[in-house]
């Protein structure tokens, strides 16, 4: 069991809290549950667990005198299995059981109701978005989520941010990706992890970064065209606290995944272009490729 209760939160509040974890009660959901529990402990706010009981649920649920109570009991067993005996009583998560034919709507509605800072979902490892443990509801949840979504692949419970596992912030210098920077900083601070940035250059593009991009992202008073180098990216992001800055050339998804593996990243943070951008995540974008292949959690932040 992760020592969730023993974590001393470095920050009393966070832009990432409160934490809502969507569960389907399968053993494969445990890495996401572990990640959600630790994140909630570090923000010093309660953990919310939401699961959806479909109208045609398992016989044990349908035949129970109180089906909702039966589901809650299974949630408690799942928490104890994932975090250790007695963990559910110790951390006392808020458990919500929704009954809705539209599971995604129920999950998103709950996240809105509690003003969630992060919604945690799980996937079946590197097979990616078509294998979300929440099944067909995953695309709708990602598209409609009112907050950042932490996607946790199966088997990644041991890969969380920390002193040996930096947070890798991926940016294409757009305003959408820049909107993810505060979340990346907050995540790194909560886990006492270093923050690294990466922006991948097109190997066929030798043009400098335009003055407009420098102005909109870096807020420079007198922007000038800037060739994208490590020093240039650091200046654009206006962040002297970045532990490392990477400006590789190549395919963006390939390079982000390569860096995440090479740097033993505890998490990758990426921004998307609003609701339409989230939809594109599931249709072959860079973010989708990263989500399918990266060996650590990915925090997707809506612009």
Element (H, E) at 168: strand 167-170
Note the pLDDT of residue 7: 41
Query: Which tens digits make up the pLDDT trace of 130-144?
Result: 545 555 667 778 888
Note the pLDDT of residue 212: 42
Query: Which tens digits make up the pLDDT trace of 162-191?
Result: 999 999 999 988 877 888 999 999 999 999
Note the pLDDT of residue 287: 81
Mean pLDDT along residues 92-114: 89
- Residue 181 CA to residue 169 CA, distance in Å, equals 7
Tally of CB atoms within 10 A around 177: 23
DSSP string of 252-298, one letter each residue: HHHHHHHHHHHTT-SEEEEEE-HHHHHHHHTTT-HHHHHHHH-SS-E
Query: Which tens digits make up the pLDDT trace of 241-285?
Result: 899 999 998 899 999 999 999 999 999 999 886 555 555 554 347
Note the pLDDT of residue 58: 53
> Is residue 24 within 8 Å of 51, Cβ to Cβ?
yes
Q: Residue 224 pLDDT more than 50?
A: no
Note the pLDDT of residue 124: 60
What is the model's pTM?
Answer: 0.83
Query: Which tens digits make up the pLDDT trace of 14-69?
Result: 689 999 999 887 777 789 999 999 999 999 888 999 998 755 555 545 555 677 88
Domains of the chain: residue spans and CATH: 19-153 (3.40.50.620), 167-302 (3.40.50.620)
Q: Percentage of the chain surpassing pLDDT 90? A: 40
Note the pLDDT of residue 90: 94
CA atoms within 13 A on the CB side of 27: 1
Mean pLDDT along residues 3-17: 53
């Amino acid at each position: 069991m992760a020592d969730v209760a023993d974590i001393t939160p470095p920050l009393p509040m966070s832009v990432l809290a409160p934490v809502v974890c969507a569960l389907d009660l399968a053993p494969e959901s445990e890495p996401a549950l572990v990640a959600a529990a630790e994140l909630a402990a570090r923000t010093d706010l309660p953990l919310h667990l939401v699961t959806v009981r479909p109208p045609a649920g398992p016989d044990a649920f349908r035949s129970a005198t109180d089906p909702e109570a039966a589901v809650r009991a299974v949630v408690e067993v799942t928490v104890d299995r994932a975090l250790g005996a007695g963990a559910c009583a110790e951390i006392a998560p808020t458990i919500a059981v929704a009954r809705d034919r539209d599971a995604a709507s129920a999950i998103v509605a709950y996240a809105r109701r509690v003003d969630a800072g992060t919604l945690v979902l799980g996937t079946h490892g590197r097979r990616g978005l078509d294998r979300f443990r929440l099944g067909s509801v995953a695309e709708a949840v990602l598209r409609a989520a009112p907050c950042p979504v932490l996607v946790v692949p199966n088997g990644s419970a041991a890969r969380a941010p920390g002193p040996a596992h930096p947070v890798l912030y991926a940016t294409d210098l757009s305003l959408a990706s820049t909107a993810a920077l505060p979340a990346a900083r907050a995540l790194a601070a909560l886990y006492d992890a270093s923050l690294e940035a990466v922006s991948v250059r097109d190997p066929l593009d030798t043009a400098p970064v335009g003055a407009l991009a420098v102005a909109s992202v870096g807020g420079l008073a007198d922007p000038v065209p800037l060739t994208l180098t490590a020093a240039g990216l650091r200046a654009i992001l206006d962040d002297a606290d970045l532990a490392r800055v990477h400006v590789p050339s190549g395919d963006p998804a390939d390079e982000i995944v390569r860096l995440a593996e090479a740097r033993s990243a505890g998490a990758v943070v990426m921004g998307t272009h609003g609701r339409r951008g989230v939809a594109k995540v599931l249709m072959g974008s860079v973010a989708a490729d990263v989500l399918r292949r990266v060996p650590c959690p990915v925090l997707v932040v809506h612009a």
